[in-house]
Structure 1
Amino acid sequence: MSRVIHVFRQPERFVAGTVGEPGDRSFYLQAMEDARTVSVLLEKQQVSVLAERISALLAEIARRFGTELPDNESDQDTDPLVVPLEEEFRVGTMGLGWDADSRSIVVELLAVTEEEIDESVVLDDTDEGPDAVRVFLSPVQARAFAERAEMVVSAGRAPCPLCAEPLDPQGHVCVRLNGYHQRSAMAD
């Protein structure tokens, strides 16, 4: 079966978002163009890494090509994900590049597969390989995506000031306190 590559050359929207409560959230990326919406599921860490790498790529593009970077305070898309949320696939491999012709950052998200992925299928239109979503972002759109993604990731549970593990509403057993609850250790 041939692979399906969803291409968004001029997306109206490309955002990270979540479904669920902190500590039990599912992370999604959603691309929209015209009347078409594609949503993919991925891990929190993948969202964080993608935002970080997009920011680094924007800085490198500015350094190498003299491209002006957009302000950090770009128009922020704070709307929720579009529902109904129908997951196209779970993301395994991600690719990132610069298309000099369209002056766009290209984000490619490939579906999880059981086979090892040959890196030549990333950002390529070969018939063989995992399904993919390919999104072309202007530097302004890329900056807005990275900012929102960082906000979405940081909106979860607060980290413990001692061990940096997430604090649960039910309590937290901190390894830095040898397994004692922070409150009970301070009361002694």
Structure 2
Amino acid sequence: MARQVHIFRSPERFLAGTIGQPGEREFYLQVVDGRRVLSVSCEKQQVAVLADRLGTLITEVGKRFGAQVDPVAGADATAAMLSTPVDAEFRVGTMGLAWDGEGSQVIVELLAISEEEVGEDVVLEDREDGPDALRVFLSLAEAQQFADLAGRLVAAGRPPCPLCANPLDPEGHICPRLNGYHRGVLG
């Protein structure tokens, strides 16, 4: 089957969202442009890293090029709701970020998990031998909005154990720092 590269230039929304309860959540990245909706599944850590790296990229672009982040209207909790039904096109393996100075846009590329190792030369290329990809072009403000909402989404999960940083369930967990003894939420 031929490689598919899904390109969204200035979409209405680009967001991270979840389905399920904390501890059992499935994470998705979704882009919406009119009636065109595309979702990809990913790991919580990938959402956290993408949000963090976007923040770093935005800061660096501001320092180097003097670009300003103008606030986006409508940046509220409803902007973080997935459009349903959610049907993942692929599972994200490799992620790439770039700055398009001419268009003053951030480019986010999400590549499907593949059996072959994906090198830097495949990211942002449309070669036939690469994995399926989702490429999204965002303004700095849209990228900042995504990073803010994605950061809040990741933080909304289960609180970390103060000893081992593993997620705490309401009934506690088996803490490796306590040599396997059960640790309750309150100690």
TM-score normalized with structure 2 length? 0.91
Q: Which amino acid aligns with 1:92?
A: G
Q: Say whether 1:76 aligns with 2:58.
A: no
Q: Please identify, of 152-161 and 118-127, the stretch whose mean Cα deviation from structure 2 is larger.
A: 118-127
Q: Say whether 1:175 aligns with 2:176.
A: yes
In the alignment, structure 1 segments of 5+ residues that lack a partner are none
Q: Which amino acid aligns with 1:143?
A: Q
> 1:93 maps to which residue?
94
> 2:26 maps to which residue?
26
Counterpart secondary structure, 1:121: coil
1:2-17 aligned within 5 A: 2-17=2-17
TM-aligned CA deviation for residue 124 of structure 1: 1.4
Counterpart secondary structure, 2:121: helix
> 1:128 maps to which residue?
129
> 1:146 maps to which residue?
147
Counterpart secondary structure, 2:23: coil
Q: How high is the sequence identity, in percent, across the aligned residues?
A: 54
> 2:114 maps to which residue?
113
Counterpart secondary structure, 1:120: coil
In the alignment, structure 2 segments of 5+ residues that lack a partner are none
TM-aligned CA deviation for residue 74 of structure 1: 7.1
Q: Which amino acid aligns with 1:47?
A: V
> 2:156 maps to which residue?
155
Return closer, same or farther for 1:63/1:74 CA change in 2, 3 Å cut-off: farther
Counterpart secondary structure, 1:119: coil
TM-aligned CA deviation for residue 116 of structure 1: 1.4
TM-score normalized with structure 1 length? 0.91
User: Aligned equivalents of 2:44 and 2:183: distance in 1?
Assistant: 27
> 2:54 maps to which residue?
54
Aligned Cα RMSD in Å?
Answer: 1.8
Return closer, same or farther for 1:134/1:77 CA change in 2, 3 Å cut-off: farther
User: Aligned equivalents of 1:88 and 1:181: distance in 2?
Assistant: 40
Moved over 3 A (4+): none
